[in-house]
Structure 1
Amino acid sequence: MNGDRPKLIVICGPTGIGKTNFSLALAKEFDGCIVSADSMQIYRYMDIGTAKPSPEERRQVPHYMMDIVDPDTPYDAARFCREGRTAIAKIHTQGKLPLIVGGTGFYIKALLHGLFEANPVDPEIVRRLKEQAAAEGIQPLYQRLCVCDPETSGRIHPNDAYRVIRALAVYEMTSNPMSVFQEAHGFRQCPFDVLKICLTDQREILYDRIDRRVDKMVADGLVDEVKKLLEMGYSVNLRPMQAIGYRHMTDFLRGRAGWEETVSLLKRDTRRFAKRQLTWFKKETDTIWTSPEEKMTIFTLARRFILNSYLIQ
């Protein structure tokens, strides 16, 4: 591949839109390798609920950044950035095209533009916040974060105690929200030539796809996958076990919700998650928006990008 900076293609979009099939076809057409940019697909033993490609699909196209840590191993965007860039470099040395595929917008942004260097937080502040969370639950802390740093809170799940406490600790130490430091960093340091494609569709079509995807996950054995994780000793309080699908099935297995209610809530929460993903991606610049049905148009665009140095940035 020519040019001063190595090329890569990003395929992003909301859950259920069809990124997997689209990226597999693109990788086969252009001799590519897929780098997953999904904050849940990094975990082993969590396959159905994270919608990982099948073993057969992974044999057809090399995949990176999947099944790299156990569910009880801490993992963050900084580590993803380091390991993801290592994977990209390896793919380039093989003369292949990296395809960054996923719906975790913050991970994609970190991979392309780096992360700001956060100041170390005071361990005493962290300890106090952890004690408060243990005594009162994480929700009061999350509500406080919504007031002092609404931008950061919008990127954090309300049950993500680690990130909520981290953001609050930064605010208490500096009197500035974490988003101020991130904005100052600017996420400008992109060492790649990037073609960024975001898949989307009409809302009713997307929501129907999501509902059918949930039905397939259930049919494929999502509840058994969660049961096995619990039997392996993984706590329901782990961050990945609080993710969509896993927390729903955990509540069902613990008798907190009936089956029909569980599936209904899972579909509802997945639709809400997709809406949040779209909100994130709509704030991004230099992005081509298209339907998964426009495969040939995107193939033409990708070919121009690879062969003729077509740049969107």
Structure 2
Amino acid sequence: MCGSLDQSNLKNKKLPWAVLVAGPTCSGKSYLSLKIAQALNGTIINADAMQCYKDLRIITTRPSIEDEASAPHRLYGVLPWDQTGNAGWWREQALSELEQVSSQKRLPILCGGTGMYFHSLIHGIALIPEPSADARAEARRSIETKGSPFVYELLSQVDPQTAQTLNPTDSQRVARAWEVWLSTGKGLKFWQQEAHLPGAAYNFIVIRLAPERALLKEAVAERFTAMVDEGAVEEVANFLKADPPVQAPLRRALGVPEFVAYLSGEITLVEAIDNAVRNTQRYIKRQETWFSNRVLAPSVQVCIFNSRIDKNLKFSESFIEKSISFINSFIDV
């Protein structure tokens, strides 16, 4: 389902164009983005939170070295594991990349499944003060020594408005909320209601993949089996040698908690894979809900495909051609 071009509906014809390829995990975003980039002189800008990190290339399913060499890729593997890349950080990096790519007369193609990254770029983001180093260290120390639920209870007492939006066991987000309160004396929800940085000055064309969940379930199972064959378990074992704390973002990457449990002898490898598939399906459901209820661009600039895109799947070439044609209908105006 694709919108149709009506020049009267374009808010600002003078703004540069950028493409968003969005959708749930395992839907084929990377492959579709690569094909669009090759056809339309594009540069792919990563919008997946975990693929920003240098570590765990296999388990975060970053594009292969060969794919990265066949078209320009930006913001992949740029963060060390001990740095937190939140939406504010990504937005700043993405804006810089958009400017550079546009100045090179190339088409920016933002590819990923982290909805809040897209939202921060398109609609802007709250201007939250950077927590002090002492506050950040104290928040991390509290999470490590006392656990996320304990810190969550502390947060609930001083900042219930933020706490009610969080999962007590989500150590990364609890630590983030706690460090902001420790540093500023005000909660995240307070700052989110204050001044906002504006959205990017671009016209966005959205290609959203929304395959049936049954198709994704099968693809996810195949992906985790392939990951193990490619060395994902060994990759996680090497990552653990650095002794990353529980709130390190990559500790939450899909498949990492399950393989950590396997490596510690708590479960078998088969159970680890089954658990990873099950938890990934839950994450996919949350992604689908998020994208279904958000406006990323005017409807005439949105194209939705209810299919996976993969070089081995029938009809994928047809969807790729339709995507390229749809994008061309705007950038050729």
Task: Identify which of 156, 161, 165 aligns with 1:148.
Answer: 161
Partners in 1 of 2:63 and 2:135 — Cα distance?
A: 41
Contact 1:8/1:97, CA 8 A, preserved across alignment: yes
Instruction: State the Cα deviation string for residues 26-51 of structure 1 (Å, max 9, x = none).
Output: 11111101000111111113210110
CA distance in 2, matches of 1:10, 1:254: 40
Q: Is the alpha carbon distance of 1:210 and 1:12 closer, same or farther for their aligned partners in structure 2, counting shifts above 3 Å?
A: same
* Larger deviation, residues 22-31 vs 237-246: 237-246
Kindly provide the CA deviation profile for residues 154-193 of structure 1, in whole angstroms up to 9, marking residues without a partner as x.
7x971314324246659x944xx63464356577533111
Q: Per-residue displacement from partner, 1:64-104 (whole Å, max 9, x unpaired)?
A: 00111211223322221112111111111111000000011
Pick which of 124-133 and 251-260 moved more: 124-133
Tell me how far apart the structure 2 counterparts of residues 259 and 46 of structure 1 sit (CA, whole Å).
18
1:302 aligns with 2:317: no
Whether the 8 Å contact between 1:71 and 1:234 is mirrored in structure 2 is: no
Q: TM-score, normalised by structure 1?
A: 0.84
Which residue of 208, 216, 233 maps to 2:218? 208
Equivalent residue letter for 1:12: A
Aligned to 1:22: 32
| Percent identity of paired positions between Structure 1 and Structure 2 | 23
| Alignment partner of 1:107 out of 117, 120, 126 | 117
CA distance in 2, matches of 1:16, 1:55: 19
Bigger shift: residues 129-138 or 30-39: 129-138
Length, aligned pairs only: 302
Using the size of structure 2 for normalisation, the TM-score is 0.80
User: Mean Cα displacement is larger for which, 71-80 or 10-19?
Assistant: 71-80
Q: Which runs of 5+ in 1 are unaligned?
A: 309-313
CA contact (8 A) 2:120 2:199 kept: no
Deviation (angstroms), 1:204: 1.0
Within a 5 Å distance, the mapping from 1:45-56 to structure 2 comes to 45-56=55-66
Residue aligned with 1:197, SS: strand
Equivalent runs, 1:152-301 vs 2, <5 Å: 152-153=165-166, 158-160=170-172, 161-166=174-179, 173-174=185-186, 178-179=188-189, 181-182=191-192, 189-231=199-241, 233-237=242-246, 238-285=248-295, 286=297, 287-291=302-306, 292=308, 293=316, 294-301=319-326
Gaps of 5+ in 2: 1-11, 309-315
